Structure 1
């Protein structure tokens, strides 16, 4: 078989695979009640299936395209649960967004590294864009959010080129249009978090070292007593964003440490404050309309 025929056969295979996947998603949605949360598998690696849990706004209109927000849980790339951001997902669905809780591979369950976690996060966003039509997603209004290591995944999807699964259709962007980051791991350099763990390729996976022009608008929340993420690290991140002409809002909170934003801590005070500011941020980007309902 000539090289030309081989390339043509490969193109047909990819085209058919993509078409079949899109059809599979459409078939699954035909039997789903969008008034309730539901799951779709976005990626299968060997015997591991990774799911996205969707929530749609009340009064879903099949003729509309909705802004979408995908959440990545924290846990040091070692563990964690999608339930961490369930309250935020419920709130932003009530505000008119499609919200998505993303599962991804972690060390404790899958014996993987942060590099596989980033690849999964990028696959999740690419899945949303690839199937935007059948999912009623506006592909130009996909926000990525997360806390700690999950914030790192969101930031990597906004800034780090590469680290994609090579067999995916890379013509479909895995870059988020906006970032909402809760005490994120934003710097994996010598002065940042888990530098040794990232190895020689640390620059590839460090969001702070990949900020370029057209970096997505970002909002960051951090407690001033965070023992893992120093204030100086996120301030440097903000300054780099400003240098390239991108927006980066930073909110610092006195007397609280890592994970302060979780709904079950501090009587929900900081959950309310951070979600309120996230709402205003997304409204300013025209992802949302009206006033926060907290």
Structure 2
């Protein structure tokens, strides 16, 4: 699958193809490998965990899925999407669980979190051969603020880290989002916290032709993210 058109249906087809390509039967998931450092910034060391399918075939490229945890950019842990990463590994994808800077641990803002997410995506794609993944089949995923980071990597042209290699794209090839924050505008999530910079960071305000095909999961009784936002 070398090209993915900008529609939701190809996302589902992509996931179906991944499922069909698995070897079938019961697949045991290996234990979490050691964490890999993807970025050191202002004394903060940021890491990600990698989960591989069992019995990797030599020289074969696998699709990948990169998870960002939620927590309002204030806190959270990579364990949030550990089960999902294990599941997708069992279906033939390489899973990544990304840590990033948050207010409680690093005294940072959502803007630094976006920079970290884009750095993580570039790190995964830039090391595709090492991870044995197809650089053109990388899904970004996350929940709440983590969903925002995945969507931000797909839509925002700015907020890149000065140390990033900008020749490597941070844009995912597809998005799988759980109750994501996608609107940081006047009627959106944490508008005041954006300090008048919502156009820089709000995925909804940066959707353009070529944005990755996206599927969103949201409960109708979500207290923070209204369904109307997703409909718009």
What secondary structure is seen at the aligned counterpart in 2 of 1:145?
A: strand
Q: Unaligned stretches of 5+ in structure 2?
A: 1-28
Q: Unaligned stretches of 5+ in structure 1?
A: 1-33, 237-294
Greater helix percent: which structure?
Answer: 1
Residues 112-151 of structure 1 correspond to what in structure 2 (within 5 A)? 112-151=108-147
Does residue 77 in structure 1 map to residue 61 in structure 2? no
- Cα-Cα RMSD: 1.1
What secondary structure is seen at the aligned counterpart in 2 of 1:52?
A: strand
Q: Distance in 2 between matches of 1:113 and 1:135?
A: 30
1:96 equivalent in structure 2: 92
What secondary structure is seen at the aligned counterpart in 2 of 1:180?
A: strand
Q: Distance in 2 between matches of 1:233 and 1:35?
A: 39
Does residue 51 in structure 1 map to residue 43 in structure 2? no
Contact 1:36 1:56 survives alignment (8 Å): no
* Among 147, 171, 178, the residue aligned to 2:174: 178
4+ runs of 1 displaced by more than 4 Å? none
Q: Distance in 2 between matches of 1:205 and 1:85?
A: 23
State TM-score, norm by structure 1.
0.68
1:37 equivalent in structure 2: 32
Distance of aligned partners of 1:177 and 1:217 in 2 relative to their CA distance in 1, 3 Å threshold: same
Q: Distance in 2 between matches of 1:48 and 1:62?
A: 35
Residues 220-231 of structure 1 correspond to what in structure 2 (within 5 A)? 220-231=216-227
State TM-score, norm by structure 2.
0.86
1:210 equivalent in structure 2: 206
Count of aligned residue pairs for this structure pair = 203
Superposed displacement of residue 199, structure 1: 1.2
* Among 156, 160, 163, the residue aligned to 2:159: 163
